[in-house]
Amino acid sequence: MNIHEYQAKQIFAKYNIPTPKGIMVESVKAAIEAAEVLGGPIWVVKAQIHAGGRGLGGGVKLAKSIDEVESLATEILGMTLVTHQTTAEGKLVQKLYIEDGADIKDELYLSVVLDRKSEMPLIMASTEGGMDIETVAENTPEKIITIPVDPAIGFQGFHGRQLAFGLGITDKIEQKNIIKFAEKLFRLYMENDAEMIEINPLVKTGKGVFLALDGKMGFDNSALGRQPEIAAMRDLTEEDADEIEAAKYGLSYVALDGEIGCMVNGAGLAMGTMDTINYMGGTPANFLDVGGSANAETVAKGFEIILKNPRVKAIFVNIFGGIVRCDRIANGIIEATKLTDVNVPVIVRLDGTNAPEAAEILKNANIPNLIVGNDLGDGAAKAVAAAKGE
């Protein structure tokens, strides 16, 4: 689960992580009032969406007067912001963060992320603050510092010194400041079940104080049950409506940009199915895991969600019957076609428990556009061919 910048900074405040003062608003009038409360003389008007690259997209702008705050708030609030981290459709800006300007001497990058390779949190930092870390990694990877932190021992002084030296900070007071900053950030990460915290830029002021000028945070969905305050920050308007609808029926759904809808049981098999479709020359339109308790209702809802995507030209149903029996899935598919208008070819591959019975059920169903796949490769090949109209 992701949260907005203003919410991240609310959490930063609880850990005494310095940030510029700011106020979240949802109207132009409130933006003006917020600017007056902050006092200026410089303000930053920031769009609040769950995506990076807001500045390059025109969603972060500097104002030097109350009139400029009003003008920029009018311009940004309600705009559809497109960045390199949004889809081509962009995201509607419904909230703004009005923030004090800062005395910026240097811009740095600092984050704590989960490194799945080392199976521990990783502190990442760079002197190239304000830039996309992906661009830095590609063009000047030597400028990225990586410091793995074993959670069994936590953040230690040697981690902090490695960070300070890696960033080229030589002033003793500034070294202490950056070490304290990173220590607080790591504690925040661990105590809140975060998956990622990114501050870009982390600025050093003329007085040697480090400020989180930005804040991006993502959390482990599976841990939200023990993080009620974090869960309460969830903004459903920033999430995919189909993914939310799918979750209500126990379906794990992620939209992609291909032409072949996928309905599979099990995340591993779903990923293998998408890989096979790609190998056969097709493109998957989604990830959809119906889990181990699929029935006619969930299958019908899966068809309905998949078919909302106008790019879908075929659906590949790939089920391995272990917990769920294949004959049950076959009957679910038949019932689902009665509940939902499935107007594209449906390729079905069922294997495992009661697979022969399932094949007989589908054979006798006489469903138009239903094609049976003999195995994963055959089913994927038939789905690709159907999507191409062959």
- What type of residue sits at position 369? N
Helix ranges (DSSP H) in 77-193: 133-139, 157-166, 172-191
Ligand-binding annotation for 200, yes or no, is yes
For residue 90, how far is the Cα from the chain centroid? 14
Active site residue 243: no
End-to-end Cα distance, the chain: 41
Ligand-binding annotation for 265, yes or no, is yes
Ligand-binding annotation for 70, yes or no, is no
Ligand-binding annotation for 226, yes or no, is no
Ligand-binding annotation for 53, yes or no, is yes
> How is residue 215 annotated by DSSP?
-
Ligand-binding annotation for 99, yes or no, is yes
Return the half-sphere exposure (C-beta side, CA atoms, 13 A cut-off) of residue 191.
12
Query: Would you say how long the chain is, in residues?
Result: 390
Find out whether the peptide bond into 151 is cis, omega within 30 degrees of 0. no
- What type of residue sits at position 336? A
Q: Under a CB-based contact definition with an 8 Å cutoff, are residues 62 and 100 in contact?
A: no
Catalytic residue among 5, 174, 183, 198: 198
Report how far residue 381's alpha carbon sits from residue 213's, in angstroms, rounded to the nearest whole number: 50
Ligand-binding annotation for 297, yes or no, is no
Q: What is the three-class DSSP state of 41?
A: coil
For residue 370, how far is the Cα from the chain centroid? 35
Integer CA distances (angstroms), 325 to 70, 356, 366, 367, in order: 61, 11, 21, 20
Ligand-binding annotation for 113, yes or no, is no
| Run of H or E including 318 | strand 314-321
Q: Which two tokens stand for residue 323?
A: 């917990």
Helix ranges (DSSP H) in the chain: 5-14, 28-38, 66-76, 133-139, 157-166, 172-191, 228-231, 241-248, 267-279, 296-307, 326-339, 355-363, 376-387
Active site residue 198: yes
Residue 133 CB neighbours (<10 A) = 19
CA dihedral of 289, 82, 41, 9, whole degrees rounded to 10: 10
Catalytic residue among 6, 97, 109, 253: 109
Positions annotated as catalytic residues are: 109, 198
Q: Which residues are annotated as a binding site?
A: 46, 53-55, 99, 102, 107, 200, 214, 265, 322-324
Q: Which residues are annotated as a binding site for Mg(2+)?
A: 200, 214
Q: Which residues are annotated as a binding site for ATP?
A: 46, 53-55, 99, 102, 107
Q: Which residues are annotated as a binding site for substrate?
A: 265, 322-324
